Structure 1
């Protein structure tokens, strides 16, 4: 089998010429990237690099995925070459893979199906309470506002639940996760599963990296790696039909539209504050070429654990552990957290954890700082 040096592999990092390394094997993904189920961008972000850890992080059924990799194999690293590219820390990588093996031995990647069933049930209960409130008390201002807050809460919680299925963390078979994800995000949220996958996996692959993480780009370009518009449109129609059929009798067409937009306004603010409190204020930069463990720690922080914080954020208060192990069921993230903290202490890596109020205040401080920078630039200071 041909052997390659990193100097040669790193030359193949263009969109039209892409190689990557997994377990010291070299793969040419130039053509395959356009058929990659996760989209061509997320796999292309690791062109010219070692992608072993991100490969392990994103895929549940490794034996199945490796069948598709065989035709792409073109060689392996030369024996004298290190396993890590760009002089990444090999000791941290070795320790992290040992940590992952420990988590697997502890069955932390095994899902508790009752947990997710009860979680779905509490969303359905909130939807039912919302309808009953309007049906019983009428469409006055007070029942309407109460119902809007209940529905915004159910929408936020549905958002966290679709996130679980999107990360393949509920069922052992990826297919079942994909089917459930399409239903959750489509029927309960009215959004596109394909759009979510395309953007969110890029964020996890290269968090807070300009031009690779869509969440930090100034301009969001909605170009999908594998968009199925008819299917996505069907799910959106099912969502809006369900909502309008339920509430048009109480508010009329225009009233139902205004009511839905008010609910969306409340839920979107909830979503933004939760997702940003775990990434702000964190390092945002060009490609620093760190190992997987260090790169995720540099871009995420945790919020202290409590029953409310877990529920309020959909367990995204364990953002560090979620980024390190995207397919781990959320109810097990707190179990792996002590192991992650121990590894951080061993290598002198900061493990940031904040109270909820401080995390929310950091967002305000970050917005104020950003606003001041833009003002200074506008005034040419």
Structure 2
């Protein structure tokens, strides 16, 4: 064994770990990890006020096909509330974890999601983004995000994976229902820490939501309202989270990366002004968010040039492009990954 090579490799790994420590000190020096209580007080108040206004408009409008427009509004508002739940889950809002969790349960209850289920899933994603086998966000039965995943597809899921680039956006219409159902399953199976609290919150959501819809609207309008609302909410959520990692490099246990490079190289930022920050709930700054998950959303834009300059100085690829370009990369990746399934005569498993 070459002792000098072993020593050199150990030195490089130590230097890599020190890189993130240096970046962390720069970020803290700029005060970018400090709580933004005023920002979140205004953000939460305006979001809940807008949601309440939408509920009032829904009741006043009554049984009308114009309610499909309010369904679009509620799809947007559910996503905005979910973004607040995401921030609370990362301890961005309050100083203590308990206070953030209380807010997270409340926001989850409003939109009908299990906060405990989402926290478990999202924490695994942050620990190993784009890791084949460890990241639940690339373990979706109907799709394949790596060539290795295509080898295990059969039957209907093989067909959806084969045509996944064309089906990606249509499948997002089911994402809202999938989020509801996954949470219900997790609570039913006892896979969440506060099972009874979440059971009450999810039950209350179903009763209030369906009760309001079917009391105010006639059955045909009610069903159309639910379809538009849930479908567009799913598309909005999927279109907000997909650009951050889909189409970026994926990894296995054989890949050795330090924390800094694992997070940066698997993530992509979306370029744009503050309207993009609002629309995507700050997820457009995916690199900074993955490096510093507890950084308040309002500070991510300020951190971006600092992190990008640091990556350039250390020779780390920093991916960033426009919003529409990100969807092009996502669809291109899905199409390329599924190529083996489209080969004539490819055996089905």
Q: Give TM class, smaller chain.
A: 0.7 to 0.9
Shift in Å, 1:125? 3.2
What CA distance in whole angstroms lies between the structure 2 residues aligned with 1:320 and 1:377?
Answer: 39
Task: Name 1:37's counterpart in structure 2.
Answer: none
Residue 243 of structure 1: which of 205, 209, 220 is its match? 209
Task: Name 2:131's counterpart in structure 1.
Answer: 209
What CA distance in whole angstroms lies between the structure 1 residues aligned with 2:247 and 2:39?
Answer: 32
Tell whether the 8 Å contact from 1:278 to 1:302 is kept in structure 2 after alignment.
Answer: yes
Unmatched 5+ residue regions in structure 1? 1-80
Within the alignment, does 1:307 sit opposite 2:230 as a pair? no
What CA distance in whole angstroms lies between the structure 2 residues aligned with 1:281 and 1:128?
Answer: 38
What CA distance in whole angstroms lies between the structure 2 residues aligned with 1:371 and 1:210?
Answer: 16
Q: Aligned in 2, Cα 1:178/1:107: closer, same or farther, shift over 3 Å?
A: same
Task: Name 1:95's counterpart in structure 2.
Answer: 19
Taking the TM superposition and a 5 Å limit, the aligned residue runs for 1:62-101 are: 89-101=13-25
Shift in Å, 1:159? 1.1
Q: Aligned in 2, Cα 1:334/1:253: closer, same or farther, shift over 3 Å?
A: same
Q: Aligned in 2, Cα 1:170/1:249: closer, same or farther, shift over 3 Å?
A: same
Shift in Å, 1:115? 1.6
Residue 329 of structure 1: which of 285, 291, 296 is its match? 296
Shift in Å, 1:194? 1.2
What CA distance in whole angstroms lies between the structure 2 residues aligned with 1:256 and 1:236?
Answer: 20
- Classify the secondary structure of the residue corresponding to 1:210: coil
Taking the TM superposition and a 5 Å limit, the aligned residue runs for 1:36-185 are: 89-141=13-65, 143-185=66-108
Q: Aligned in 2, Cα 1:228/1:85: closer, same or farther, shift over 3 Å?
A: farther
- Classify the secondary structure of the residue corresponding to 2:131: coil
Shift in Å, 1:87? 7.3
Structure 1 range deviating more: 368-377 or 153-162: 368-377
What CA distance in whole angstroms lies between the structure 2 residues aligned with 1:253 and 1:117?
Answer: 38
Shift in Å, 1:210? 1.3
Tell whether the 8 Å contact from 1:126 to 1:151 is kept in structure 2 after alignment.
Answer: no
Shift in Å, 1:326? 0.5
How many pairs are equivalent? 298
What CA distance in whole angstroms lies between the structure 2 residues aligned with 1:224 and 1:337?
Answer: 40
What CA distance in whole angstroms lies between the structure 1 residues aligned with 2:41 and 2:210?
Answer: 26
- Classify the secondary structure of the residue corresponding to 2:73: helix
What CA distance in whole angstroms lies between the structure 2 residues aligned with 1:377 and 1:85?
Answer: 45
Q: CA RMSD in A?
A: 2.8
Q: Aligned in 2, Cα 1:330/1:151: closer, same or farther, shift over 3 Å?
A: same
TM-score, reference length from structure 1: 0.71
1:290-342: CA deviations, max 9, x gaps?
10000011110100131211011001000000000011111111222222112
What CA distance in whole angstroms lies between the structure 2 residues aligned with 1:224 and 1:302?
Answer: 36
Within the alignment, does 1:264 sit opposite 2:230 as a pair? yes
Kindly indicate which of the two structures has a greater share of residues assigned to helix. 2
Tell whether the 8 Å contact from 1:134 to 1:144 is kept in structure 2 after alignment.
Answer: yes
Higher RCO (CA-CA < 8 Å; seq separation 6+)? 2
